[in-house]
Structure 1
Amino acid sequence: MPPPPVRPRWRILAASSLRPQARPAHKYSPGEAPWHPQSSSEYLSPERGSVKTHPLLPLKNVRVIELGAAIASPYQTSMYADMGAEVIKMETEKRPDNIRYTNPWVGEKRDLDASYYFNKLNRNKLGLLLDLRKEEAKGIFKQIVSVTDIVVENFAAGTMDSLGLGYNELRKYRPDLIMISLSGFGATGPDRSFVAYGPVLEGVGGIMNLNGWKDGPPEICPFSYTDYVSALYASQLVMSALYRRRITGQGLHADISEAQVATNAIPATFYDGAVNGRMWSRNGSRTLHHAIHEFFPCKGNDDWIAISIRDEAEWQAFCKATGDAEWTRRPEFATEASRLQRQDELERLVGQWTATITRDEAFALLQRHGVSAGPMYSIKEVTEGKHTIARKTYLPDPHPITKDRRIAASTIRLAGAPREIFRPAPLWGQHNPYVSLELLGFAPAEAERLKASGVFS
């Protein structure tokens, strides 16, 4: 058997009115879809009937099926749900989303429906149990696809094809279907079958090699960085795909590699090495171009201030903020180049100055002089801060179990639309009746039979 194709570094693009050009390969790999002309009003699936959403929400007539777990796909589809899309999250009894088992829980009691983390990632969605290992369930899934705009999955590469539910099969039922496949290494290349979570992807993507102190070990991000960034890449692609479908009537299949997304998140490093032969390495918070780019201690208990000075004007503003302290006017600190050569000494002197005032005093003083500076806030300070409250970053959770506790809401603010969580995260299999009876039109007896036979489970 020949080896699998390797994902290209460069791709030849052709268009009817343009000569082919060589360009960097995309992080996602669009598949082909047939020309499917329709009037614009027909591109979106039928009106959704379960929960009223505000008319200004831009995706209120879009339906999404999510076959995902953990963070990457659920976070991606949460953005669609926040914008009004009807998102149907699929799970099975044997394999619920593992984030349901992630704390914190209400009262620290482990419960499938009581995880704050799950509720945050899956607000405004519907929940469906459907066991795709069963042939009858596959047929039902295809029926759902026929009235769906977008399918999102983050199974291991090749899983949907092995189930007989790959894009080429599904588009028989929805010719203009948009499908997003998101996996650790993508669906092509020699690493495509490898298992990967956040730390692995940070490592192979090059991020971990840069994260940490000089001469120290590599550091792992304290959150799933690649999952969140990959979700943002995917959401941008989906918005473009919906627009493209409106213009052309064509669907799209995209294959996104989280490892490739990680590499694209550090482009300056890649190009500096490729073009100049200069390999970057761990160096704490420092950069190659800014002499002051660091956290500094302040008066108080574990209080710190971040300061970043990018050019000569900001350096002069910083000097004035210190009251033109003697050390800021030394000849050896007169230029950015000379300051970079004496970075250790400069950081020591800045730290001595910040240690004489409180964090909040330093923040106010530096900002007043136009210096980019910000305090290190605790999680409690972030959630209870005046700006956080004013922006309604956290809203009461209408969930029946975690009710009245606040969870992170959408970061999107639309003029004229209320900022709210209009549907709590689904209880396990909560919306099976809606899907079977309303969406698919099954008779109650048939829906009960499918549940009893383990299809809806």
Structure 2
Amino acid sequence: MGVFSHLQIVELGSSVATSYCARLFADFGADVQKVEPPAGDPLRRSAPLTPGRQSAWFSFLNFNKSSIVIDADNPEAVTRLTKLIEGCDVVVDGRKVDSAECPAIDVVTIRQRNPEVIYLEASWFGSEGPYSGFAATDSTVRALAGLIKLVGTVEGPPLHSPDFQTGILAGLWGFIAVASSMVKGGAGRSWSVSIFEATLTLSEYQAFEAFAIGDVMRRIGINRFWPGGPAGIYETKMGWIGITTLTPAQWHALCDMLGLFDLRDDQALVLAEDRLLHLERIERQLKAKLLARTAREWFAEGLKRKIPVIPVPEISDLVRDAEKNTRSAIVPVRLGKEVGLTVGSVQRLTLTPPHRGGKVPAVGEQQGSGIAERPRTRIALASSVCAEVNRPPLQGIRVVDFTMGWAGPLCTRTLADLGADVIKIEAIQYPDWFRGVDRRAAYVDSRMYEKTPRFCILNRGKRGITLDLTRPEGVALAKRLLAGADAVVDNYSVGVLAKLGLDYGVLSKLNPRLVIMSMSAFGTDSIHRACRAYGSTLEQGSGLPTVVGSPGDPPVMSHNAFGDAVGGLNGCAAVLVALMHARNTGQGQFIDLAQIECMMPFTAPWITTYSIDGAQPTKYGNRHPQFVPHGCFRCAGADEWIIITATDGRMWQRLARLIGRHDWSEDELLKSPEARRAIEDVIEASIAAWTLNLGAEQAMSELQASRIAAGVTRLPIDLLKDRHLRSRAFFQHIERPFVGLHPQPSMPIREGGSPCALRKGAPTLGEHNREILLGELGLSEVEIDKLLEEKIIGAEMLSETELAKSPGKVSSI
């Protein structure tokens, strides 16, 4: 029995976001009834297609669901759909993205008859605001979200990645909203998710960093990564290698490994931001040296030297990867008469694991229990009263947070935003490295570590204490906290908590209800578990870069630490599933989350097609396998660009008329994307001539006025003044010591019209030591003073000199 095997979920409309959200519930046993028109969900026709003409994207999004056909033209359609919803626990509604001919129903009235049903609605931009009526695609939304403009060659055009990144991110957020509603037994909640705002999870911290240091972000070339480097993908004697060097130690180790001693000894290259100014010289020497050995050989050398390096796999390498098959990162799937592979659930709960693969339903096919359209007695939520909207869904849950950087803190920040009491544990010897790694006296004495935007953004809503976990007194206090906690999250290197005496075996005996999640890069049992990794390393090793760009291009990375944010959201989702199980059974469990596996959903369709016919992925550059035209076009002004696409024949005709090609709009043959493909170069040239005379914002306004999907390619800093986000009060202001009143991004999920209120800013170092140690653990003032004197706790980061004198050290934290 799966954690959600008692749930019936109804999925309406057609959107990647709602399909993926429902798929995550199906992974853990929910009976998902997918409502489709007689011709099937339009996503069934999304490329790439298998030899049997099955959509690999649809397969990934929908295996282990049932399909129920409701024909809107049937007089009984509304009655059938109403009956289905009245008997379910959750409605996942994607009709605002694409109605997929779903019958018009009065959801409000239906929910009045079934007040316990949890409702989730997805839309591109939300129900109000300047963009609310915009036509959109995955790429136009990513352009507006600041995720395209920084990728590509310096001269342009900016380079987009294949679909469906926005839908996967929004689907995760939708799952988090619905699952959080169940942890404390609250039924009846109604959520909305903005796909645009969900996508900002990837770019929000870059926006604030750019604002803090000045608007300095510009496109600096393929596989170059602001604010330092080298951090990219490079060719070797055989294969490609991903390298990320941020710290001085990593840079020196890389130079030593490659024999680049002149670069190592150049004091102008010690800091990553300084190396950015000299990348041409650095990469010229770096690339020549890397050609001497294979990617695998360099990887082995990099591991010895603790450099974040990873071979960049082709899709074929992923399919053949024995570890990913063993860990169920890749699972079998049946698509009609074909059998292939796809990406499994990345929420790797060890006691209550997700389904390992499954079958894609044919149109109208029932799977599993086959209880569609049958009203039933509520099992899941009948014992609880309907939720109070003003009460956060996770109020009463306590999480102990051993995380640093981006991925882990994003996971726990989301839990805090949803009402959990999150206690963040740092040490004055080893504070969260997102506070800054500069230990020079000037940095420490001026408390600059309290002012970094990225730390403030990712740790809001938490309480903070300091404990030196390398010493017995610190570990003992941590155990006392954990004895009364519901969950603990860490993203240290594999084995660090075990060295400290805080491993799963110890903690599960201390508190059998405790949910314990490790968020390592590759998994606790991986052969690569000792590999150092950043979010960029995870992207490099995921296979995604090999499907981005044009034919003949090297593998292409995005321009942010993509893997961190994706890992954080998946970690939050996994904790919620485990908390639900603990609520129902009293049993905690261990979650072995491998962040690199969290990136693999973005490569899922190419894994499927390769597993069936061995075909290598087709690279489209800024074009699209279905939509013609689809591209990134220069506008008037310096480095101004816009993504434009025509998703169907009618949109194409409106586009042709707008750019002055009435002959094209009246040509019946050109209604077909296949016919337009034959003259794609000519079409793109005509669009480019039109956009070049307009500013990007004006071009978007004119295109959207004609209901044509278009999005300006924005820089992350542009988000802070985006008129749509301002109109929706997306940025909320919080007061915090050392920073003052400062903006924070909201969650993209809402109950009602306003964003969920943010409770408090990020904790200063050790801010809540006395509140927690004195007030909750019952320590005396004398005991606390002794802990301060011995530097087991504290409120100020130690400088390099002070750290050298401090007892206790676990350098791999």
Give the TM interval when normalised to the shorter protein. Answer: 0.7 to 0.9
Q: Which moved more, 1:429-438 or 1:276-285?
A: 276-285
Aligned partner (choices 57, 62, 80) of residue 392 of structure 2: 57
2:693 paired with 1:356:
yes
Aligned partner (choices 590, 605, 621) of residue 284 of structure 1: 621
Contact 1:28–1:254 (CA<8 Å) still a contact in 2?
A: yes
SS of 1:182's partner is strand
CA distance in 2, matches of 1:177, 1:203: 33
**Partner in structure 2 of residue 50 of structure 1:** none
CA distance in 2, matches of 1:204, 1:301: 34
**Partner in structure 1 of residue 787 of structure 2:** 450
**Partner in structure 1 of residue 11 of structure 2:** none
SS of 2:758's partner is coil
Query: 1:305 is matched by which residue type in structure 2?
Result: I
2:518 paired with 1:181:
yes
Aligned partner (choices 345, 351, 354) of residue 32 of structure 1: 351
Aligned partner (choices 653, 664, 670) of residue 316 of structure 1: 653
User: Mind listing any 5+ residue stretches in structure 2 that lack a counterpart?
Assistant: 1-321, 332-340, 353-380, 382-388, 795-813
Q: Which moved more, 1:323-332 or 1:313-322?
A: 323-332
2:619 paired with 1:300:
no
Aligned partner (choices 734, 758, 761) of residue 424 of structure 1: 761
Query: 1:274 is matched by which residue type in structure 2?
Result: S
CA distance in 1, matches of 2:609, 2:646: 22
**Partner in structure 2 of residue 376 of structure 1:** 713
**Partner in structure 2 of residue 90 of structure 1:** 425
User: Mind listing any 5+ residue stretches in structure 1 that lack a counterpart?
Assistant: 14-21, 34-39, 41-53
Query: 1:271 is matched by which residue type in structure 2?
Result: T
Contact 1:363–1:373 (CA<8 Å) still a contact in 2?
A: yes
SS of 1:112's partner is helix
Query: 2:413 is matched by which residue type in structure 1?
Result: S
Distance 1:102 1:314, change over 3 A: farther
CA distance in 1, matches of 2:591, 2:648: 41
SS of 2:408's partner is helix
* Residue 327 of structure 1: how far off its partner (Å): 5.0
Runs of 4+ in 1 over 4 A off after TM superposition: 9-13, 22-25, 327-334, 416-419
2:70 paired with 1:70:
no
**Partner in structure 1 of residue 748 of structure 2:** 411
SS of 1:269's partner is helix
Superposition RMSD in Å:
2.9
**Partner in structure 2 of residue 210 of structure 1:** 547
SS of 2:456's partner is helix
1:204-244 Cα distance to aligned partner (Å, 9 max, x none): 11122233444333333221111101111111222222222
Distance 1:274 1:331, change over 3 A: same
Contact 1:101–1:110 (CA<8 Å) still a contact in 2?
A: no
SS of 1:69's partner is coil
CA distance in 2, matches of 1:334, 1:392: 40
Q: Which moved more, 1:428-437 or 1:296-305?
A: 296-305
**Partner in structure 2 of residue 346 of structure 1:** 683
Contact 1:157–1:187 (CA<8 Å) still a contact in 2?
A: yes
> How many pairs were matched up?
422
**Partner in structure 2 of residue 19 of structure 1:** none
CA distance in 1, matches of 2:677, 2:516: 48
SS of 1:88's partner is strand
1:190-212 Cα distance to aligned partner (Å, 9 max, x none): 11221111222111111222334
Contact 2:652–2:671 (CA<8 Å) still a contact in 1?
A: no
**Partner in structure 1 of residue 285 of structure 2:** none
Contact 1:9–1:24 (CA<8 Å) still a contact in 2?
A: no
**Partner in structure 2 of residue 222 of structure 1:** 559
SS of 1:398's partner is strand
* Residue 282 of structure 1: how far off its partner (Å): 4.7
Contact 1:57–1:417 (CA<8 Å) still a contact in 2?
A: no
* Residue 9 of structure 1: how far off its partner (Å): 5.3
SS of 1:396's partner is strand
Query: 2:351 is matched by which residue type in structure 1?
Result: E
1:74-128 Cα distance to aligned partner (Å, 9 max, x none): 011111111121111111122111110189xx9xx77110111110111111111
**Partner in structure 2 of residue 120 of structure 1:** 457
* Residue 150 of structure 1: how far off its partner (Å): 1.0
Distance 1:315 1:360, change over 3 A: same
2:469 paired with 1:162:
no
CA distance in 1, matches of 2:760, 2:469: 26
Within 5 A, what are the aligned runs for 1:4-43?
A: 6=323, 8=326, 10=328, 25-32=344-351
* Residue 380 of structure 1: how far off its partner (Å): 4.8
Distance 1:446 1:73, change over 3 A: same
Contact 1:320–1:369 (CA<8 Å) still a contact in 2?
A: no
* Residue 26 of structure 1: how far off its partner (Å): 3.2
SS of 1:425's partner is coil
* Residue 439 of structure 1: how far off its partner (Å): 1.7
CA distance in 1, matches of 2:552, 2:722: 37
* Residue 363 of structure 1: how far off its partner (Å): 1.7
SS of 2:607's partner is helix
**Partner in structure 2 of residue 80 of structure 1:** 415
